[in-house]
Amino acid sequence: MQNHLSDTISKMFVKIHKSCRTVVAIADSDIIGKTFEEGKRQIYVRENFYKGTEVNKEELIAIIRRQQIEDASFNIVGKNSVEAAIEAGIITKKSVAKIKNLPFALVLL
């Protein structure tokens, strides 16, 4: 396993929640547990919701594509996670919102 700074920065967590409908929670590893606020808008990147399996970009894209086939919903937070979701084709740059420069997107298929 490599110990490069870029490997650490590009790690993301993915957690799949199964209920009536599958919800895939995706977040950059460096924002887990943090809260971002801007005006009345707030996002809390809760560890118990987002912190699942740590993956790299290629692994995440594969998971997103598999879950998309299953009609999952997605909750995506963080620059690297949003970029992976764009590359996987489930969101576009226009569908990304920001709070305090933190990009996020919700996908309900």
33 sits in the region (left: phi over 0; alpha: psi -120 to 50; else beta) called left
* 97: pLDDT strictly greater than 90: yes
What pLDDT, on the 0 to 100 scale, is given for residue 4?
Answer: 39
Residue 108 has phi, psi (to 5 degrees) of: -115, 100
Which residue, 31, 60, 61, is CA-closest to 43? 31
* 2: pLDDT strictly greater than 60: no
Q: Quote the mean pLDDT of the chain.
A: 91
Q: 22 lies in which domain range?
A: 5-108
How do residues 38-89 score in pLDDT, each as one tens digit?
Answer: 999 999 999 999 999 999 999 999 999 999 998 899 999 999 999 999 999 9
- For 3, residues 6+ apart whose C-beta sits below 8 A from its C-beta are none
CATH number at residue 58: 3.30.1860.10
1 falls in which pLDDT band (50, 70, 90)? very low
Domains in the chain: how many in total? 1
* pTM given for the model: 0.88
What pLDDT, on the 0 to 100 scale, is given for residue 9?
Answer: 54
